[in-house]
């Protein structure tokens, strides 16, 4: 099989994903707070992928301005990621409707039924996260248009199950809607393997951090380029009385200080100096503003350098187009090589 035929086969494999997203290659940009803003999102869409704005803690007027600015940079489809715990979620949903956004990704928990209904009534396709088959089926019954299954290899807030296991659990049993796979994906061959299992496409975040179009601080990018997969570690909970939401980031001075913070707080509770509620707040507030310090200010020592385990595959700064072209070429080469081996 020549490369043209191999590319045609790849296009058939992710045809459901490209049709759903309205793009050329079924590769979504993972929504990363402070990273996935207008420049990176537009670059991903312009290169044939599907960019996704990270709303994070933005207020409605800020999101409206970011959507409008992104429209000025690309005529291609892009989406918006909304956190379901945001206190102004309904207002943000209306902003997406008013801003003519085609797709909204609802993250951070089970999407409220009224928000899903509101978005769909506004002509928006709604994407949700499924950390288990039962939740995926529930979301589909609730009207979700597509799913993302994200394994624990991903950067930032993550779950407890690997991408490979989630794919085996969910892809064979949920066929009603497109399912995109995320977490630890850094090469085209991996994307191909999930497509052949039934995925509609893949979501990548870490791979795009060192794009030339990404506005992240140079020190933040260099931390990615230097890192190996084992450097991207999950935050550790020292005491079950004080749960820590798992976050995957590059180990640094801040990681060690967070452990010390937990030890100090636990000791205060045990000695009666602090009550449990105040202790939990002190632990949770440790990382307040830490992601912004790392991404925007370049403080990669005490800031939170959120990264997935695919960070070891980030070896240099490249344009978004080069990254997507490289991923596609790797998948195409794998198809062509396998066919050639079979014909020999």
> What is the percentage of the chain residues whose pLDDT exceeds 90?
94
Q: For the residues 62-67, what does the mean pLDDT come to?
A: 98
Alpha-carbon distance of 80 to 134, in angstroms, equals 25
Q: Is the model's pLDDT at 167 over the cut of 80?
A: yes
CB atoms within 10 A of CB 4: 10
Give CA–CA dist 122/103, Å, rounded. Answer: 11
Per residue in 89-132, pLDDT tens?
999 999 999 999 999 999 999 999 999 999 999 999 999 999 99
Structure letter (DSSP) for residue 106: E
- Of 218, 247, 219, which is closest to residue 232 (Cα–Cα)? 247
List Cα–Cα distances, 124 to 17, 26, 106, in angstroms. Answer: 16, 18, 12
Q: Residue count of the chain, please give it.
A: 344
Phi, psi for residue 332 in degrees, rounded to 5? -65, -45
> Could you give all domains of the chain from N- to C-terminal order, each with its CATH number?
3-215+315-343 (3.20.20.70), 228-306 (no CATH)
Using the structure block, give the residue that is written with the tokens 């609730």: 142
Model confidence at 217, pLDDT cuts 50, 70, 90, reads: very high
Lowest mean pLDDT among 2-16, 39-53, 83-97, 235-249: 235-249
Asked if residues 286 and 261 have their Cβ atoms less than 8 Å apart, the reply is yes
Contact predicate 155/137, CB 8 Å: no
Residue 37 DSSP one-character state: S
* Residues 238, 241, 242, 245, CA torsion sign: positive
Residue 288 — pLDDT band, cuts 50, 70, 90?
confident
3-state secondary structure of 201: strand
**Counts for the chain of helices (H) and strands (E), in that order:** 14, 11
pLDDT of res. 344: 58
Provide the pLDDT for residue 120: 98
pTM of the model: 0.95
């Amino acid at each position: 099989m020549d490369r043209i035929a191999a590319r045609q086969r790849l296009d058939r494999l992710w045809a459901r994903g490209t049709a759903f997203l309205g793009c050329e290659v079924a590769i979504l940009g993972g929504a990363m707070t402070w990273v996935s803003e207008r420049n990176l999102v537009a670059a991903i869409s312009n290169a044939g992928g599907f960019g996704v704005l990270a709303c994070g803690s933005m207020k409605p007027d800020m999101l409206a301005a970011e959507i409008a600015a992104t429209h000025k940079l690309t005529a291609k489809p892009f989406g918006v990621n909304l956190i379901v715990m945001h206190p102004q979620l309904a207002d943000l949903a209306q902003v997406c409707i008013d801003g003519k956004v085609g797709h909204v990704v609802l993250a951070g928990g089970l999407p409220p039924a009224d928000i899903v209904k509101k978005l769909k009534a506004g002509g928006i396709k709604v994407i949700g996260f499924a950390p288990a088959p039962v939740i995926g089926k529930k979301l589909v019954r609730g009207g979700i248009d597509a799913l993302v299954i994200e394994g624990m290899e991903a950067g930032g807030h993550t779950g407890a199950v690997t991408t490979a296991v989630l794919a085996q659990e969910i892809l064979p049993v949920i066929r009603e809607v497109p399912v995109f796979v995320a977490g630890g994906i850094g090469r085209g061959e991996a994307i191909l393997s999930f497509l052949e299992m039934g995925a509609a496409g893949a979501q990548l975040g870490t791979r795009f951090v060192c794009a030339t179009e990404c506005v992240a601080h140079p020190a933040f990018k260099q931390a990615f380029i230097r890192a190996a997969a084992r450097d991207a570690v999950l935050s550790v909970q020292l005491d079950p009385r004080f749960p820590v939401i798992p976050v995957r980031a590059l180990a640094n001075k801040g990681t060690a200080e967070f452990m010390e913070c937990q030890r100090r707080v636990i000791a205060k509770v045990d000695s009666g100096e602090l009550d449990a509620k105040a202790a939990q707040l002190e632990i949770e507030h440790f990382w307040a503003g830490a992601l912004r310090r790392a991404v925007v200010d370049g403080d990669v020592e005490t800031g939170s350098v959120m990264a997935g385990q695919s960070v070891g595959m980030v070896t240099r700064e490249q344009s978004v187009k080069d990254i997507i072209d490289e991923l596609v070429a790797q998948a195409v080469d794998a198809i062509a090589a396998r066919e050639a081996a079979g014909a020999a």
